[in-house]
Amino acid sequence: MSSLAPLPPTFTTGEALGLGVHPRRLYRWRERGEIFELSRGVFRREDAPDASHPELLGVAHRAPVAVVCLVSAAALHDLTDELPLAVQIALPRGARSPRIIHPPVQVFHFDASTFRLGLGEVEAAPGEQVRVYTAARTVVDLMRFRHRIGEPLALAALRRYLISAGARPGLLLDLAQPLGVLGPVRAAVDVLEAS
C-alpha cells in the first residue's frame, strides 16, 4: 500500500502492516512528517483533525483495556486544575501492566468485580473515544486514594463535583458502597453540603 488513505486517523504498526504497509514505507511517512508517533507503535496521520488529548490516544491504543482514572480523569472532568506528571490508568487486578515509556503512565490495579463501575468515554479526537471513569466514579476513587493522592485534592474535586450542574450526591454514595469508602464519602458530602 502506498497511500495513507485506508488508514484511520490513529493507528498501530500492526494495523498498518495488516493493510499491507511495508515497514519501510511507515518509517518514510514518519520521516516526511506525514504521520507522527504518539507512543511506540502508535501513529497519527498529520492530515487528521487535531486531537484534544493525543497522549490518551497513544495510551488507549497501547492498553485498550485500561481506563483513565484518578487525577487524569479529574482533569478531564474539570474537577481539578492539577495535571498529573503521568497519565493515570486503571487495569483490573491481575492484568499485566503495559510497558509504556512515552507518554509516561502510572498504573493502578482495581478490583475486577468493581472495575466497570462508572465506566464512561471521552472524545480524545473527533470520532475517537477513550475509556475514562465518570466524574462521580472519579471523585469516589480520589477519596479511596486520598492518602496516596492527597486529601486536599480529593476534597477539592468533591467540592467541584457537588457545585457542578450535573451533580448527583446520591450516585456518589451508590458508588462509594461497593468501593468500600461509604463512610468517608458520606461524611465529606455532609460537611461540604452543610457549608
Helix (H, G, I), strand (E, B) or coil at 55: helix
At 166 the pLDDT is 87
The mean pLDDT value for 39-61 works out to 94
134 within 8 A of 118, measured Cβ to Cβ: yes
Kind of pairing between the strands at 105-110 and 87-92: parallel
Whether 27 shows a pLDDT value over 60: the answer reads: yes
Please give the grid coordinates belonging to residue 31: 520521516
Instruction: Give yes or no for a cis peptide into 92 (omega within 30° of 0).
Output: no
Phi-psi region of 184 (alpha: psi -120 to 50; beta: other; left: phi over 0): alpha
Nearest to 181 by CA among 117, 106, 98: 117
Its sign, for the CA torsion 84, 151, 99, 113, is: negative
At 84 the pLDDT is 86
Using 50, 70 and 90 to split pLDDT, how confident is the model at 32?
very high
At 194 the pLDDT is 73
The mean pLDDT value for 177-187 works out to 94
At 2 the pLDDT is 55
